[in-house]
Amino acid sequence: MKVHGVFLVATVFYLAYTQLVNGQRHKGCQTSCGNVTIEYPFGTSPGCYYADDPSFKLTCNDKQKLLFGDNIEVINISHSGELRVWNNVSYACYNNQGNLSDNLYYTYTLANLSLSRSNMFTLVGCNALAFLSTFGTQNYSTGCMTTCNSPSTETGDCNGTGCCRIDVSVPLDSYSFGTRSSRLENMTSVYDFYNPCTYAFLAENGTFHFDALGDLKNLRNVTEFPLVLDWSIGNQTCEQVGNTSECGVNNSICFNSNRGTGYNCKCLEGFEGNPYLPNEHGCQDINECTTNSTIHKHNCSDPSTCRNKIGGFYCKCQSGYRLDSTTMSCKRKDFEWATIFLGTTIGFLSLLLVFSCVQQRMKQRKTAEFRQKLFEQNGGGMLIQRLSGPGTSNANIQIFTEESMKEATNGYEESRILGQGGQGTVYKGILPDNSIVAIKKARLGDSSQVEQFINEVLVLSQINHRNVVKLLGCCLETEVPLLVYEFINSGTLFDHLHGSFVGPSLTWEHRLRIAVEIAGTLAYLHSSASIPIIHRDVKTANILLDENLTAKVADFGASRLIPMDKEQLTTMVQGTLGYLDPEYYNTGLLNEKSDVYSFGVVLMELLSGQKALCFERPQQSKHIVSYFASATKENRVYEVIDGKVLTDNNQREIKEVARIAVECTRLMGEERPKMKEVASELEGLRVAKDKYQSSDQYTEETEHLAGVQYHIGTRG
């Protein structure tokens, strides 16, 4: 009877042991919940998880979600000691008065699990502060802080501007943690309307990538992120538990947990399965010869030679052949020396090829680094930053390569030079599509000239006007940056007025129309552009003429954008002697009246045909402004007018234009008319002239138009 009792107990034990199926100890244990596999030592019912330890108990709810602890949803379970779960985002939202309107703070109890160091603690928000607090035998807190300059200038880097993150390094005996976010006191601003909420969360490394545009607004509507928890068996090391560990009897080994307490199990190399289950239900041999896995696949060149063995494989060659361990293929033994020679030759050639490839790669890398260095040196970073800044339209500017610029200018041949000035040299270029362009090679020597170059690109990207030279693109890969413009083929206004351009001289009709076009362009820059622009270097050398003698304003290297809330800027004085506003020269205060003065000088050149500065004139008249002022004061204005344009029919118009030129060059800026008024008055003269020519007589209406806004002559 006693023998039968022992036999019965042994039988029951054997039956219980043989029911280790589907990764669980007993046949009745649940093996999955939704799409998550449940494997021992975790389980959902008593007897199915390790030692009935609550830290290994999971719950499968009616929504087929696998839960751990206080409703923490499990994503997957790793044999190596990691439990991935979904972790909610805590947040704090504020209304437009800066008061807290909504707040969500999460605290989780982890039992015998720990936060993995594979996680990052992240804060997203403007001018915000977040804390991660853990609670255990030793309480611990950490956190980070963010600031924001402007929501439209935040970058995609989580570096403290709009987003910050820190590594998780907390006491390993923590049994719960919490996350909290808040806004810094007295930091509420207009940016908060763009970013009303701050978010704090723990997430597995690599699962969150900061996107300022979407995340600062509403975190892209994401409410949870994957979180990694470390778990282990017991609180003893592998050395302490010895052969009594929970690791399977065969084909698995024990290793100490990353938590610093307890241990975990893993299968030996060449085996796979659940290392916490014994014998045939745990780690099983991998047949590398038949498996489709890329991790455990054999490397025999001929699959028919692969032979599986416990914990590995080998390649078996037939009689008369040997295994080449380099290629894992079978070779005839008769050709061993030939094979060695061939292998050596191939190896040498392979090394030579690898060396050449590495050398070529290093050369390409150095070239790319050098081009990037030149790009930054030539203001590429500044250009990108300013084009993407607030209030700046992102123009479609083509980026040309260094090779294409060399080809277009025939190696910057001297015969291709169109002109040289203070801002650089201009070449005639021919692009692959045979279109002709003007290529400006900036003259850089210091950072201020880089600023001028980038400033010209920035200003021209804002302008869309028929009388402004069009910018097509730029090249920043060269030691000296290049700008590519539309080609204007008839020289500058300076060339036409002062004899360096071969061709017929400009008639009065041409000069009046050119004056109207220049004035209209400057009025547009001052009053109609999206951001007011002051050219700061208006002169006849910067006015190009096309084949129809249409004026094109060029060279915006010295120009400045004037913010809408300002009427003037304090800048370092810059311009061309003879055209430079004396008030700006003395005070450094730049405003639109500085361009008005320079335009007045251009107008005097158009009237007189003489240069702005001429040292052959008397001492008091070397500057054309003094020359005109004295002639006007002494009522002998016709004496300074170019004899090529003065006729009996246009004396009245010329006198009116001379008056406008004198008003534009008054010493005090407040006494000068605005460019819009000048453009209107010149256009009135032109309209009056057209009507006169069509009717062959002056009417009272025409006389009135010729004197439109004459009251500006009595200004100030």
For 336-352, what is each residue's pLDDT tens digit? 676 778 888 898 999 99
Of 74-88, 249-263, 282-296, the least confident: 282-296
**How much is the pLDDT for 9?**
36
Choose among 671, 675, 686: nearest CA to 522.
675
Q: Let me know: does 106 contact 200? Beta carbons within 8 Å.
A: no
**How much is the pLDDT for 444?**
59
Average pLDDT over residues 253-278: 91
Distance (Å, whole) CA 337 – CA 192: 78
**482-486 and 436-442 strand pairing:** antiparallel
Average pLDDT over residues 438-449: 71
Distance (Å, whole) CA 542 – CA 441: 16
Q: Between the CA of residue 14 and those of 9, 17, 106, 273, what are the distances in Å?
A: 9, 5, 47, 22
Position 483 pLDDT exceeds 80: yes
**How much is the pLDDT for 241?**
92
Of 19-28, 83-92, 150-159, 357-366, the least confident: 19-28
Confidence of residue 398 (pLDDT cuts 50, 70, 90): confident
- The DSSP output letter for 317 is P
Q: Which fold has domain 493-714?
A: Transferase(Phosphotransferase); domain 1 (1.10.510)
Q: Give catalytic status of residue 696 as yes or no.
A: no
Position 409 pLDDT exceeds 80: yes
Architecture of domain 286-335: Ribbon (2.10)
Residue 482's SS3 state is strand
Average pLDDT over residues 604-632: 86
Average pLDDT over residues 101-111: 82
Report domain extents, the chain: 1-68, 86-225, 235-283, 286-335, 381-486, 493-714
User: In this predicted model, which residue has the larger pLDDT, 524 or 334?
Assistant: 524
Distance (Å, whole) CA 347 – CA 633: 95
Confidence of residue 697 (pLDDT cuts 50, 70, 90): very low
**How much is the pLDDT for 366?**
86
Q: How many CB atoms lie within 10 A of CB 88?
A: 18
Q: How many CB atoms lie within 10 A of CB 209?
A: 8
Q: Let me know: does 518 contact 543? Beta carbons within 8 Å.
A: yes
Average pLDDT over residues 204-211: 92
Average pLDDT over residues 104-122: 85
Confidence of residue 458 (pLDDT cuts 50, 70, 90): confident
Q: Catalytic one among 215, 230, 537, 581?
A: 537
Confidence of residue 498 (pLDDT cuts 50, 70, 90): confident
Position 631 pLDDT exceeds 70: yes
* pLDDT, tens digit, 9 for 90 and up, residues 147-184: 887 655 555 689 888 899 998 876 655 657 777 888 88
Q: Between the CA of residue 569 and those of 459, 532, 564, 594, what are the distances in Å?
A: 16, 12, 12, 11
Phi, psi of 678 (to 5 degrees): -60, -45
Confidence of residue 605 (pLDDT cuts 50, 70, 90): very high
The H or E element spanning position 399 is: strand 398-399
Burial class (CB in 10 A: 0-12, 13-18, 19+), 132: buried
Average pLDDT over residues 685-710: 52
**How much is the pLDDT for 437?**
93
Of 51-55, 121-125, 478-482, 565-569, the least confident: 565-569
Choose among 608, 473, 655, 465: nearest CA to 550.
465
Q: Let me know: does 224 contact 89? Beta carbons within 8 Å.
A: yes
Find tokens 């339209």 and name the residue: 393
Phi-psi category of 664—alpha, beta or left, where left has phi over 0 and alpha has psi -120 to 50? alpha
Between vectors from CA 344 to CA 353 and to CA 289, what angle results, nearest 5°? 90
Confidence of residue 192 (pLDDT cuts 50, 70, 90): low
Q: Is the peptide bond before 41 cis (omega within 30 degrees of 0)?
A: yes
Phi, psi of 115 (to 5 degrees): -70, 130
* pLDDT, tens digit, 9 for 90 and up, residues 303-315: 889 999 988 999 9
**471-475 and 482-486 strand pairing:** antiparallel
Tokens of 74: 């499990």
Confidence of residue 392 (pLDDT cuts 50, 70, 90): low
Helix residue ranges, H only, 534-674? 582-587, 592-608, 624-633, 651-664
Confidence of residue 520 (pLDDT cuts 50, 70, 90): very high
**How much is the pLDDT for 211?**
87
pLDDT, mean over the chain: 82
Q: Between the CA of residue 552 and those of 125, 226, 332, 408, 493, what are the distances in Å?
A: 48, 60, 82, 23, 10
Average pLDDT over residues 382-386: 75
Between vectors from CA 457 to CA 454 and to CA 463, what angle results, nearest 5°? 145
Q: CATH number of the domain at 381-486, please? A: 3.30.200.20
User: In this predicted model, which residue has the larger pLDDT, 248 or 208?
Assistant: 208
User: In this predicted model, which residue has the larger pLDDT, 2 or 512?
Assistant: 512
Position 142 pLDDT exceeds 80: yes
Position 290 pLDDT exceeds 50: yes
**How much is the pLDDT for 48?**
92
Among 16-20, 385-389, 621-625, which range has the highest average pLDDT? 621-625
* One-character DSSP codes across 412-449: T-GGGEEEEETTEEEEEEE-TT--EEEEEEE---SHHH
Phi, psi of 77 (to 5 degrees): -120, 130
